[in-house]
Amino acid sequence: MASPSRTLLLVAAAAVIAIATSLSAQGRDAWEGTWKLNTAKSMYGFSPKPEASVSKVEPFEDGWKMSQDTVDTQGLATHVEAFVRFDGKDYRVQGLANTTWTCISIDDHTYELVSKRNGRFTARTRTVVTPDGNTRVSTTTGTNSEGQIVRNIAIYERQ
């Protein structure tokens, strides 16, 4: 079983992809493709910063298929995958036990993703895409197992 810090890290990383996936429905060219975490520019609070993270966003039926491959500080690789629709419903996440995501539109360039585990809120990620479509900034706020507020800012660049 994953540690609470690792679980929050995976939820945050996966949320970034799910949000990008949701945005793709409104701007396919801006969101499709492969994104790589810029670890030097990203900031992680109480959860450890991953060594590497790459996400892919692809159209699928009336929603999006997204995947994220992350390597943590101990070198452990994790694969997360989900099929998400931008309709405000909870969708099951493969690779994160008992986890669902719900996407919410804020405006044309800003979206939120609410992550739940066992039906309980774990994190909220707000993603803002730059006008040039080359960078996305995702700010994740949640609470770790010790009750501490965790805030991560992940900067992804288009590959």
SS (H, E, C) 80-108: EEEEECCCCCCEECECCCCEEEEEEEEEC
Specify the CATH architecture of the domain 4-158.
Beta Barrel (2.40)
Q: Which helix (H) or strand (E) holds 110?
A: strand 110-117
Distances (CA, A) of 32 to 21, 79, 127, 129: 8, 19, 15, 13
pLDDT at 20: 46
pLDDT at 30: 64
Cα separation of 120 and 81, whole Å?
Answer: 20
pLDDT at 151: 93
Instruction: Please list the residues that pair with 33 across neighbouring strands.
Output: 57
pLDDT at 29: 52
The amino acid that residue 95 corresponds to is G
Give the up-direction half-sphere exposure of residue 113: CA atoms within 13 A in the CB hemisphere.
Answer: 28
Low-confidence ranges of the chain (pLDDT < 70): 1-31
pLDDT at 126: 92
| Beta strand 99-107 pairing with 52-60 | unpaired
pLDDT at 18: 44
Judged by DSSP in three states, 109 sits in coil
pLDDT at 12: 53
pLDDT at 159: 92
Inter-residue long-range contacts of 65-72, CB under 8 Å, 24+ positions, other chains counted? 65/21, 66/17, 66/18, 66/20, 66/21, 67/17, 68/13, 68/14, 68/16, 68/17, 70/9, 70/10, 70/13, 72/6, 72/9, 72/48
What is the pTM assigned to this prediction? 0.77
Instruction: Please list the residues that pair with 121 across neighbouring strands.
Output: 116
